[in-house]
Structure 1
Amino acid sequence: MSGITVLVGYRSGTVSLPGSGSASSVGSRVKNKPSNAISAVNDSDYALRVVLSRSAAIPPGRLFTIDFDSCQGAAALAVTDFGCTVEGCANVFGAVQGCTCTVGTP
């Protein structure tokens, strides 16, 4: 797979990101992406869409990390505060079926 679009949903009362849409402040919070990957992000204040692409295959494993801010007074983070959906993935030959994602917390 050389391209993937992932939607990471989050509870906006628990965590947040500075800015919204495709602001550079949002993009700077998406870290540990595959080397030489081109990325685009868009935050809708309840979900973050991340698009990754590179000329070579994206290695299996963790795609990226997101550095969220915890909301004041919010309960401790749990995996259930987040969701992950692969909206699409592809290789050099076209769309790939069956791509999945999972979320982990520190």
Structure 2
Amino acid sequence: MSHKRKHAKGTGNVLVDLGFEDAEELSVKAILAMKLNQLIDQRDLSQTQAATIIGMSQPKVSQVRRYKLQNISLERLMQALVSLDQHVEIVVQPARRSHAAGITVAA
């Protein structure tokens, strides 16, 4: 018995594939949060210590640590990274055929 299954081709962004309307923004937030969490871990900071340094409340730091990012702005995440001595750069350039219009973050 041979079953042929049709597989939908993914977009490369699981959040888009799952139908999130704000998938691109959530993806960028997740990348920034990953870097922020990495820095918190590297510096062995408690959530309270991190909150003091980055100017967030401890509950907001807890949300970042758990990747609950819906109520945290991109700007706030970028500012938190700057508070931890990081350089955040935003580059705007025309979309090329090989790169569709959209947002890309490298951390």
Instruction: Sort the TM-score into its range (normalised by shorter chain).
Output: under 0.3
TM-score normalised by the chain length of structure 2: 0.27
Q: Which has the higher strand share?
A: 1
More helix by share: 2
Structure showing greater Rg: 2
**TM score, norm. by length of structure 1:** 0.27
- Higher relative contact order by CA 8 Å / sep ≥ 6: 1 or 2? 1
